[in-house]
Amino acid sequence: MATMFFGQYLLAKGVIDRNALLDALDRQRRSNLSLPELAVQDGLIDRSRATAIMTRYRMSEDSMEEILAATGGLDTDQIHRLQSKQRSSWLRIGAALVEGGHLSDDEIGSNLDDYRSLESAADQEIREAMRHLPNADVVGACIELTMFHFGRVSGRPAKLGAITSAPDNLEEGRQRFSQRIVGDGDYTIAVDLPPVLIAAVAKGMLGFDIDPGTETEADAVCEVINLIGGNACTRIEQFGQVLRPEPPVCSGTGTVVSATAESVRATVSSAESGFDIRVFAADSEA
């Protein structure tokens, strides 16, 4: 059993088709505006200031509210008004499917109850799997930070689907971006992304579309991997290990970290696609 977003659940169950899901996701993207975008609409900041705020947000762990105050010069009342406006216009996937004429309110309600029951059981399985991992604290920190920064940079939500231990492999059609962190321990974080998510991460990092398959696109994703690795080293210090990151690597579509060693594999859902996070520990048992 694996967790997934509600739209993906409906797709897997055959309640909607892929075109309906893509339409609903597009409706969400057009409706669900960020706080900086809403601030531009209200004339509180200009476009260049909004871009600076989003850049800082992607590159830090500060909350959007903190950044709006520090970089945007907004006061508490202004931020609260923007939050209220955002909540009132926020479109959930079920409402987007109804808006697009793909499902009725009753169909959303009946499927939502089943979805919540399955998700509760799947979440419990993931928590149990995490507790029994070798190097559980370090591996958990690497997975958490990867998902956190992926979501911030790409602008797409990420949801942990399952945790398994499995021999390394790279699925067809995905590219691997990885970074080794060494010192008191020896770990490698590998992120296997399909082209659509590579493009989203690169655009989120640079702020504009990049030609697919270019060195510039790969370099942009590597910068995100470097951000994840640096933050992982800082987080892992609390577990008594001092680590440093080595340069990130884009190994393309044909190279794996180890053809025989087992890794911890986290499958992650993200909007209409998904990706894998793998964490390798050199001192763990295969």
Mean pLDDT of 186-190: 93
Each residue of 189-228: pLDDT tens digit? 999 999 999 999 999 888 888 999 899 999 999 999 999 9
Each residue of 140-163: pLDDT tens digit? 999 999 999 999 999 888 999 899
Distance of CA 48 to the CA centre of its chain: 25
Domain boundaries, the chain: 134-281
Each residue of 1-10: pLDDT tens digit? 467 899 989 9
Q: Across the chain, what does the average pLDDT equal?
A: 89
Confidence of residue 261 (pLDDT cuts 50, 70, 90): low
Q: Do 232 and 131 contact (CB within 8 A), yes or no? A: no
The predicted pLDDT at position 256 comes to 52
At a CB cut-off of 8 Å and minimum separation 6, what does 84 contact?
Answer: none
Each residue of 84-125: pLDDT tens digit? 999 999 999 999 999 999 999 999 999 999 999 988 888 888
Q: What is the CATH number of domain 134-281?
A: 3.40.1550.10
Alpha carbon distance 285, 266 (integer Å): 18
Phi, psi of 279 (to 5 degrees): -125, 125
Give me the residue label for tokens 């609409």. 41
Alpha helices (H) in 60-104, listed in sequence order: 64-70, 76-89, 93-99
Q: In this model, does residue 272 exceed pLDDT 80?
A: no
Q: Taking the model in full, what pTM does it have? A: 0.81
